Amino acid sequence: MYRTLQNLAQEYGPIFSLRFGCRLVVVVSSSSAVEECFTKNDVILANRPKFLAGKHIAYNNTTIAQSSYGDHWRNLRRIVAIEIFSTARLNKSLTIRKDEIKRLITKLSQRSLQDFAKVELKSLFKELTFNITVRMIAGKRYYGEDVSDEEEARRFRELMVEVVSYIGASNPGDFLPILNWIDGGRFEKKLKSFGKRTDEFAQRLIDEHRSKKNNLESMNTMIDHLLSSQESEPDYHTDETIKGLVLNLLFAGTDTSAVTLEWVMSNLLNHPNTLRKARDEIDNQVGQECLLDELHLSTLPYLQKIIVETLRLYPAAPLLLPHVSSDNCSIGGYDLPRDTMVLVNAWAIHRDPSLWDDPLSFKPERFDNGEGDGDGFKLIPFGLGRRACPGQV
Ligand code: HEM
């Protein structure tokens, strides 16, 4: 569905709207209109649509990515900022990230020990991002070797494959409700069953952490911290809030990061000059004895530019996440009624020839001349404003 809208946006210019039954959808593909979305109308557009999937797999649209703008959402953002992305937590979880990266590098070096070897990186990057996230949240590994519990890991992996068919705009009935009726409720039935299974899975994780509360090994995960907060604020940190956060962070943070890593590797392989410069930078900054302890992105500016250029050309969420207007507003001279769905076409803005020099070429060096500076509305892979990605640290 989103791909169709994205293709249509290419044909129909900076702003175009479509009406699906009672739902008005506006796709914004111009930087100046995006500026209006995230400055003048940032609060008005800070709501999310209520999709059927949100009802059944996001606790009736109350999780961080699905909930309406307001006190509950603000609280969830605060929890994520403190429990996952605060400097203290990021420092504490550094050992997890280093360990998982070491495992990946070891695996790659073992495979190429004898001779040049072909490696399928996509699944390895997925394992990396899932293992890092699940370890930070629940202290478990579900992919590769040293899996905590094989049967539990298998169930988790299956759920993560299945979820792809439910999230995003996968249900045309969310746009034309009559289609839900024609479908005879089959999609909703599947959603209910999936929601029940994910809920049971997340509940088991919570119960397990609750019963092992004094086991020091599991004291440092996000679930443990949230369970401690539950003691002081039981009405707010309910099991449902915790389950919603766990599932939302897994859905939102793993695939996006893995896909970006895959594009970075693809760009490096297709641009030997860039690869050589990146390798030189690592050799100079870190040396041949790659000590992960000393490896930090802030000391590798060229590598940073490679990642940013990759996110420009291949944003993991080309239309961001859908926003919904909570009041009447205007964008680019058009009046939008309340309850309009607004899709921001980051993909088109990142490739707009009026904003970027030679937009389709992969050139990390463009950022040497400050090409991405100045207009903060032309590079938006993580969105902007209140609903921007909390993972952009
Ligand atoms: C390369 C990696 C990533 C990209 C490109 C990305 C991109 C995005 C985008 C475009 C949005 C929607 C912004 C909007 O609505 O305007 C978003 C939202 C979100 N992201 Fe990310 N993301 C990434 C990684 C992560 C990670 C690692 C996490 C957490 C572990 C995360 C958690 C979230 C959450 C919870 C939201 C919903 C925020 C809200 O609605 O208030 N993301 N992300």
pLDDT in tens, 301-317: 999 999 999 999 999 99
Q: Which pLDDT score, from 0 to 100, does residue 290 have?
A: 57
Give residue 388 CA to ligand 1 midpoint distance, Å.
7
Separation of alpha carbons 33 and 28, rounded Å: 7
| pLDDT tens-digit readout, 84-114 | 889 998 888 889 999 999 999 999 999 888 8
Any atom of ligand 1 within 6 Å of the Cβ of 342: no
The confidence score (pLDDT) of residue 216 equals: 44
Query: From CA 328, how far away is CA 335, in angstroms rounded?
Result: 7
pLDDT at 237: 87
- Sheet of 23-28: strands edge to edge? 15-20, 23-28, 341-344, 323-324
Q: Which residues contact 77 (CB under 8 A, 6 or more apart)?
A: 64, 390
- Of the ranges 219-223, 272-276, 345-349, which one carries the lowest mean pLDDT score? 219-223
pLDDT for the residue numbered 175: 79
Atom of ligand 1 nearest to the CA of 66: 40
CA 165 to CA 163: how far, in whole Å?
5
> What is the 8-class DSSP label of residue 380?
-
Mean pLDDT of 265-270: 97
| The pLDDT of residue 266 | 97
15 Cβ closer than 6 Å to some ligand 1 atom: no
Alpha helices in the chain (DSSP H): 2-12, 31-38, 52-57, 71-83, 87-92, 94-111, 121-138, 150-162, 178-182, 186-211, 222-232, 239-270, 272-285, 301-313, 346-350
| CA 73 / ligand 1 centre spacing (Å) | 14
What is the token pair recorded at 370? 């400050």
DSSP letter, residue 235: T
| pLDDT computed for residue 367 by the predictor | 93
Domains contained in the chain, CATH given: 1-49+315-393 (3.30.43.20), 51-252 (1.10.630.10)
Range 192-219 burial, b when 16+ CB lie within 10 A, else e: eebbeebbebbeebbebbeeeeeeeebe
Q: Angle at the Cα of 256 (from 306 to 374), degrees rounded to 5?
A: 45
> What pLDDT sits at residue 114?
83
Confidence of residue 8 (pLDDT cuts 50, 70, 90): low
Please report the pLDDT score of residue 3 as a whole number.
64
Confidence of residue 164 (pLDDT cuts 50, 70, 90): confident
Residues 6+ apart with CB under 8 A from 203: 239, 243
DSSP bridge pairs for 342: 26, 323
**What are the φ and ψ backbone dihedral angles of 47, each rounded to 5 degrees?**
-90, 165
Q: Any bridge partners for residue 317, and if so which?
A: none
Query: Cα 156 from chain centroid?
Result: 18
* Mean pLDDT value of segment 110-137: 92
- For 203-252, the pLDDT digits (tens) are 999 999 998 755 545 568 999 999 998 988 888 889 999 999 999 999 99
Share of the chain above pLDDT 90, in %: 65
Tell me: ipTM over 0.95. Answer: yes
Return the pLDDT at 22: 75
- Position 385 scores a pLDDT of 95
Mutate to test the pocket of ligand 1, among 135, 325, 380, 382 (most ligand atoms within 8 A of CB): 382
Residue nearest to atom 3 of ligand 1 (CA): 256
Min mean pLDDT across 61-70, 218-227, 285-294 is at 285-294
Mean pLDDT of the chain: 89
Q: How far is the CA of 161 from the centre of ligand 1 (A)?
A: 19
User: Where does residue 364 rank: exposed (0-12), middle (13-18), buried (19+ CB within 10 A)?
Assistant: buried
Given the DSSP bridges, would you call strands 23-28 and 341-344 parallel, antiparallel or unpaired? parallel
pLDDT over 90 at 383, yes or no: yes
The owner of tokens 């400097």 is: 87
User: Whole-angstrom Cα distance, residue 34 to residue 53?
Assistant: 27
